Amino acid sequence: MFTDCKGFTAMSEELKDPRKISETLIAYFTETSQHVLSNEGTIIKYIGDAVMAAWNAPLRQADHALKGAMAAYQLHEASKIAVMGRTLTTRVGLATGEVLAGNLGSPYRFDYTCIGETTNFAARLESLNKQLGTDILISDSTAKAIREQFVLRGLGHFVVAGKTQGVAIHELIGPLALKKEDLEWAEKFTAAIAEIRQGAFDKAKELFREVVWQRDGTDGPSEFYIKKIAELEKTGQLSEWTGMVRLTEK
């Protein structure tokens, strides 16, 4: 898992005083860290305003994906709580797969960490939240492990920076047991993605706009696809598009 504190750079510029920034960051980490630890996760390190955490290492956990997903959801919910008078939104990337976990570094300094493709992908997912206007993105492998306990939305197939093969990416909405809202909009989004694959781009745009309307005027993934369709149409590439999104930014 990788997290990011939305707007932290802007907040730092506003506060200016390093002591105030430090106090705010400590308060933020205190709030976010407890959700990782209460779900039996291991905090690997803090990187600026980000948290890197892992499950199923160093000790085995049979339900590690479920615990990671619950931590991600609780981190997002904690974003609604003010930290030192500020609402700090947490974005999360979560991926499940094989990594190399252990003490790595050099003869001068080393620490416990996790490296590998899964680690890199989790970081890419966290960053992708900014482009899609989402808060929690998870890999297809994570989705398959938790789909019986969580409400998810498939966002399509993406080729992330540095990769050649497309992968399915999902948005974690919340625990199935806590489902309160009508998710008709999620079904329409899924239908819109299917229309893209059939080449029915006008119908897809119509459905995406309906999703935006049903979500009170804003839905990051729908707006992303509406913009994508417009860009491809402008360059004359729309008729060839199968729905695979190629990303150039990390």
| Domains identified in the chain and CATH numbers | 2-180 (3.30.70.1230)
Mean pLDDT of all residues in 61-86: 88
State the pLDDT at residue 198: 94
The residue that leads in pLDDT, 180 or 202, is 202
Strands 90-94 and 136-139: parallel
State the pLDDT at residue 179: 66
Question: What does the block give as tokens for 238?
Answer: 């729309």
pLDDT tens figures, 12-23: 778 888 888 888
Q: How far apart are CA 43 and CA 155, in angstroms?
A: 28
Q: Which amino acid is at 185?
A: W
Query: Residue 221 above 80 pLDDT?
Result: yes
Q: Which amino acid is at 183?
A: L
Closest CA to 72 of 12, 143, 11: 143
pTM, two decimal places: 0.94
State the pLDDT at residue 233: 95
DSSP H or E segment with residue 72: helix 64-78
Q: Which pLDDT band, with edges at 50, 70 and 90, does 94 fall under?
A: very high
State the pLDDT at residue 21: 87
State the pLDDT at residue 216: 93
Which residue in this structure is represented by tokens 């047991």? 177
